[in-house]
Amino acid sequence: MAGTELTNLRSPRVKAARRLTKRAFREQDRKFLAEGPQAVREALKLDGVTLELFTTAEAELRHPELVTQATLQGLPVHRASGEVMAELSQTVTPQGLLAVCRHVHVPLGEALPAEPKLVALLAHVRDPGNAGTVMRAADAAGADAVVFTDASVDPYNGKCVRASAGSLFHLPVVIGEPVAAAVARLKERGLRVLAADGAGKHTLDDVDLSGPAAWIFGNEAWGLPDDVLALADDVVRVPIYGQAESLNLATAAAVCLYSSARAQRVP
């Protein structure tokens, strides 16, 4: 269990964790912060990923099983004051549990199984909340991997980690791949590459989605650039049956991924 309450905002331990709120330091240290009981719970399930745990006294009472699990794994558990947790947290209302974790991403070659069926590729996606929600949707749809291209948001961004609701720890995540190289590798592995775009010539109703597929999702504001669209085997849009102008990125991604997942599972 946690020992003496950590109250000094300038302590080396707090400063070392606090620096992980910056992308440059996350990349340098190869560590990130996972905040909240769901993220901490999923991180603790992976051997060697969680390095230490910060908890408030209140959170320790609400989630004793997580503190016990961390202790049994031999991890340092620090009981932190509310002020310290607020310093480490990236939310308006801290949840009182925060883990320091090792990076979990893998190279694209290691991420794909022998016969991949479904992959999500994020190209120029900048909003961390959307990116995390796409990870969660890909996980729920049974995707084999999520690929963050070199122009996309950092998946270890605190908002992205929270939005993934633990899915960051469930499926292989690839980061920093150039779009063209990633698409070429996916095609080599037998995946049909589909670009999700509102200007697509075909809709989800028009295309056969029963085969292995990799979906490319683009920027929230301007979609996919022409050079990326040209890489795809087909450009597909989600049909709009009502009066809404469009769907946001995360919603459209969930629809596309589930459309493929369902079509692949039809006898």
Q: What average pLDDT does range 123-144 have in this prediction?
A: 96
- State the alpha helices, DSSP H only, in the chain: 12-18, 23-29, 37-44, 57-62, 64-72, 82-88, 108-111, 128-140, 158-163, 179-188, 226-229, 249-265
Q: What average pLDDT does range 137-163 have in this prediction?
A: 96
Domain boundary assignment for the chain: 12-102, 108-265
Model pLDDT for residues 203-253, shown as the tens digit of each residue: 999 999 999 999 999 988 888 999 999 999 999 999 999 999 889 999 999
Which of 76, 41, 42, 83 has its CA nearest to residue 62?
41
Residue type, 32: F
Q: Whole-number mean pLDDT of the chain? A: 94
Q: Which residues contact 147 (CB under 8 A, 6 or more apart)?
A: 108, 111, 119, 120, 121, 122, 173, 174, 177, 182
Instruction: Tell me yes or no: is domain 108-265 CATH 3.40.1280.10.
Output: yes
Architecture of domain 12-102: 2-Layer Sandwich (3.30)
Q: What average pLDDT does range 73-85 have in this prediction?
A: 94
Task: Express as a percent the part of the chain with pLDDT over 90.
Answer: 88
CB atoms within 10 A of CB 35: 23
- Would the CATH topology of 12-102 be identical to that of 108-265? no
Confidence band, pLDDT 50/70/90 cuts, at residue 1? very low
Q: What average pLDDT does range 134-144 have in this prediction?
A: 98
Q: Measured between alpha carbons, how far is 59 from 36 in angstroms, rounded to an integer?
A: 10
